[in-house]
Amino acid sequence: MRKHIVAGNWKMNKTQTETVELINELKQQDLDANVGVYISPAFVNLSKAVALTADGNIQVAAQNMHQSPNGAFTGEIAVNMLQDIGVNHVILGHSERRAYFGETDELLREKVQVALDVDMEVIFCFGEELNERKEGTHFDVVKKQLTTALFALDVSAWRNIVLAYEPVWAIGTGETASPEQAQEMHAYIRSLIEYHYGVKCADDVSILYGGSVKPANAAEIFAQPDVDGGLIGGASLNATDFAAIVNGFAS
Ligand code: PEP
């Protein structure tokens, strides 16, 4: 059975003091216990976040990791460093990593495999750019991203994969995909998984939508049958907004 998940990607925001404040504010919110709640602070604040969330239901995810186990990669973070401080979830393939740090689906395939090999859960992000949506190639783009990065994996690997469809034109722009556009793409993604891995695997994978989700639009997006939650950027930096989004599923 797939889970409802709402994950907050804090990106390069919040000092350690602010991280502590925001987590404490979040812990005071009444969060739907049937939703998996994730937060993803900056690397330097992960240890603190793990310690502060140890007594509750909030999971902590890293925003990235390197594909090598260790070595001469100045400025990078390896998977065992994350696990050693209690981080067992990682966001990979965010559009900002792709756009500003040159991450390709070939590279992401390596990162995903390295994470899965040690039982990390991967939140894998992908989605088309605005020009691709306008040209009508968005289904092909998404299919290619998933095929390159994920579809060589064994079916058993999928128990540790969460997908996050994030149309790049909707990230941080205030422009949201309509609930119908999100549903159409999520159903397509699920059909691809079914084709490669069978109906059970497709049914069990949580597919999140990301792109300008706010308290005002979360409920209608989450009401779509193939949308299992959201990856939230800007609105995850405010505890009451994030809580309202977490609580956006119909009960
Ligand atoms: C994101 O960065 O993954 C994201 C969805 O950002 P925002 O919610 O701010 O559009």
Task: Provide the token pair at 103.
Answer: 């991450």
Q: How many residues does the chain have?
A: 251
**Residue 250: pLDDT band by 50, 70, 90 thresholds?**
confident
Query: pLDDT digits over 111-144, tens only?
Result: 999 999 999 999 999 999 999 999 999 999 999 9
pTM of model > 0.75: yes
| CA–CA distance, 218 with 227 (Å, rounded to integer) | 11
Chain position carrying tokens 């992960």: 46
3-state helix, strand, coil in the chain (%, to 5): 50, 15, 35
Q: Output the ligand 1 site: residues, CB below 6 A.
A: 9, 166, 171-172, 210-213, 231-235
Q: Whose CA is nearest to atom 3 of ligand 1?
A: 233
DSSP state of 85: T
- Rounded to the nearest angstrom, the distance between the alpha carbon of 87 and the centre of ligand 1 is 21
Share of the chain above pLDDT 90, in %: 96
Q: Which atom of ligand 1 sits closest to the CA of residue 164?
A: 3
